[in-house]
């Protein structure tokens, strides 16, 4: 079961710096893609804004520019193999969802799918973009956000969500026990 | 002992999404500050660019605009109390370094100090800024980067560096064991 969060709480899903899967494109047009993104951050909560960085040559960048939206999918360590697959082939030439064993599912507010097997997702409408030497920094306005109930008690439960954190190359660690300081 | 990394490898310090301490200001002018930042991301590696998000009203934003530089300090869990202190008082009215028990030390390439007790740091010259509804998204060019030898073997050793990851409120978890996937 997934719970809708207020848009301004979207940052609770990614504040801790996980490697996420970003979906792009349009379900209706049958043109969709998915790619791992470690380079992203919340920008503001009111208004709710989030940034992701995508190589300008990548298919994901083309689809975000074409359809003006994207979704950020928080995933658990079970999907690290999917991250590896989605990071190693281009969506121009392959159905990465099928190859990675993940299911595109209709978003609430945008044409782009979210990943059914994700721990939660954030739906975004493109607000601005800037090219930094071959990388687009896309800033999106959050228009919907939801998370699996079992991973959230008002804040993320990282020892349950077990999110992957990318160290470069093939190295990751997985989120551990939450503590109050 | 700290090891210099090639500038284009700076992202190895923060790719996994830690909460860092950002230093700003000028050592020479005696006007310096330090603040916790969970909202930041690498933007590119060649050229090496990094983004941080800072409320426009914060003293850190004023000093980055004034001196055109900032440093990102990777810290271990021992400095979570310093993160809490630096996040709860303004540098306009207090010497946060003293209060937090951390030591400003001269950077190599910029006027801003780094934190002597940090696990590593990234020196940045301000490249662009944009105001997103009360938050500056600053993009900096990396001009120097170093890390404690014991935390790095070509990639970060998260089980040794034990970096804090902020979940919102008073909640953190600490980075765990690296695994190859």
**Residue A112: which pLDDT band, with cuts at 50, 70 and 90?**
very high
Q: B11 to chain A: which residues are within 8 Å by CB?
A: 39, 168
Distance CA B108, CA B126 (A): 16
What length does chain A have? 181
E runs forming strands in B38-148: 40-44, 49-55, 69-74, 104-106, 113-115, 120-131, 135-148
What pLDDT, on a 0 to 100 scale, did the predictor assign at position B90? Answer: 86
What pLDDT, on a 0 to 100 scale, did the predictor assign at position A48? Answer: 98
Render pLDDT for A21-46 as a digit per residue (tens, 0 to 9). 999 999 999 999 999 999 999 999 99
The sign of the dihedral angle between the CA atoms of B139, A57, A49, B176 is negative
**Residue B171: which pLDDT band, with cuts at 50, 70 and 90?**
very high
Render pLDDT for B9-49 as a digit per residue (tens, 0 to 9). 999 999 999 999 999 999 999 999 999 999 999 999 999 99
> Where along chain A do its domains lie?
18-147
What pLDDT, on a 0 to 100 scale, did the predictor assign at position A134? Answer: 98
What pLDDT, on a 0 to 100 scale, did the predictor assign at position B91? Answer: 80
Residue B5 half-sphere exposure toward CB, CA atoms < 13 A: 25
Render pLDDT for A40-99 as a digit per residue (tens, 0 to 9). 999 999 999 999 999 999 999 999 999 999 999 999 999 999 999 999 988 888 899 999
Cβ distance of B179 and A172 shorter than 8 Å = yes
Distance of residue B81 Cα from the nearest chain A Cα, in angstroms: 8
**Residue B92: which pLDDT band, with cuts at 50, 70 and 90?**
confident
Residue A126, phi then psi, degrees to nearest 5? -60, 130
Provide the 3-class DSSP secondary structure of residue B22.
Answer: strand
Provide the 3-class DSSP secondary structure of residue B58.
Answer: coil
Query: What ipTM was predicted for this assembly?
Result: 0.97
Inter-CA distances, A117 with A114, A157, B17, B141, Å? 9, 17, 23, 37
Beta sheet of A179-180, edge-to-edge order: A179-180, B171-174, B164-168
Cβ distance of A11 and B130 shorter than 8 Å = no
The residues, ordered by sequence, that sit 6+ positions from A164 with a Cβ below 8 Å of its Cβ are: A18, A19, A75, A76, A77, A79, A80, A83, A172, A173, A174
DSSP state of A19: -
DSSP-derived secondary structure for A76-132: -GGGHHHHHHHTTS-TTTS-HHHHHT--EEE-SSSSSEEETTSSEEEEEEEEEEEES
What pLDDT, on a 0 to 100 scale, did the predictor assign at position A93? Answer: 80
Whether the predicted model's global pTM rises above the 0.95 cut: yes
What pLDDT, on a 0 to 100 scale, did the predictor assign at position B93? Answer: 80
Both tokens of B73, joined, read: 């300090």
Cβ distance of B41 and A44 shorter than 8 Å = no
For chain B, the average pLDDT equals 97
What pLDDT, on a 0 to 100 scale, did the predictor assign at position B147? Answer: 98
Place of tokens 């660019």: B49
Closest CB to B53 among A38, A43, A158: A43
Distance CA B181, CA B176 (A): 15
Tell me the percentage of chain B whose pLDDT exceeds 90: 96
Distance CA B123, CA B84 (A): 23
pLDDT at position B89 over 90: no
The sign of the dihedral angle between the CA atoms of A90, A94, A98, A100 is negative
Distance CA A5, CA A71 (A): 15
Tell me the percentage of chain A whose pLDDT exceeds 90: 96
Render pLDDT for B100-148 as a digit per residue (tens, 0 to 9). 999 999 999 999 999 999 999 999 999 999 999 999 999 999 999 999 9
Cβ distance of A171 and B155 shorter than 8 Å = yes
The residues, ordered by sequence, that sit 6+ positions from A93 with a Cβ below 8 Å of its Cβ are: none
A-B CB pairs within 8 A amount to 161
Locate the chain A residue with the closest alpha carbon to B15.
A167
- CA angle in degrees (0–180, nearest 5) for A85-A86-A91: 125
What pLDDT, on a 0 to 100 scale, did the predictor assign at position A94? Answer: 80
CATH architecture of A18-147: Roll (2.30)
Render pLDDT for A114-173 as a digit per residue (tens, 0 to 9). 999 999 999 999 999 999 999 999 999 999 999 999 999 999 999 999 999 999 999 999
Rg (CA), chain B: 15
Provide the 3-class DSSP secondary structure of residue A30.
Answer: coil
Residue A9, phi then psi, degrees to nearest 5? -100, 10
Tell me the percentage of chain B whose pLDDT exceeds 70: 100
Inter-CA distances, A10 with A100, A110, A137, B80, B174, Å? 26, 16, 19, 24, 21
What pLDDT, on a 0 to 100 scale, did the predictor assign at position A70? Answer: 99
**Residue B84: which pLDDT band, with cuts at 50, 70 and 90?**
very high
């Amino acid at each position: 079961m997934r719970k809708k969060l207020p848009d301004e709480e979207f940052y609770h899903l990614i504040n801790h710096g996980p490697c996420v899967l970003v979906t792009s494109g349009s379900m209706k047009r049958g043109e969709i893609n998915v790619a791992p993104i470690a380079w992203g951050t919340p920008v503001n909560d009111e208004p709710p804004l989030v940034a992701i960085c995508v190589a300008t040559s990548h298919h994901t960048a083309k689809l975000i520019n074409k359809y003006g939206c994207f979704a950020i999918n928080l995933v658990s360590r079970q999907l690290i193999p999917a991250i590896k697959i989605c990071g190693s082939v281009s969506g121009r030439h392959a159905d990465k969802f099928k190859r990675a064993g993940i299911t595109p599912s209709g978003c609430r507010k945008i044409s782009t799918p979210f990943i059914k097997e994700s721990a939660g997702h954030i739906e975004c409408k493109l607000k601005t973009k800037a090219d930094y030497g071959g990388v687009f920094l896309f800033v999106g306005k959050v228009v919907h956000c939801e998370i699996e109930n079992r991973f959230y008690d008002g804040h993320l439960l990282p020892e349950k969500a077990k999110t992957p954190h990318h160290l470069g190359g093939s190295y990751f660690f997985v989120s551990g026990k939450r503590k109050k300081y």
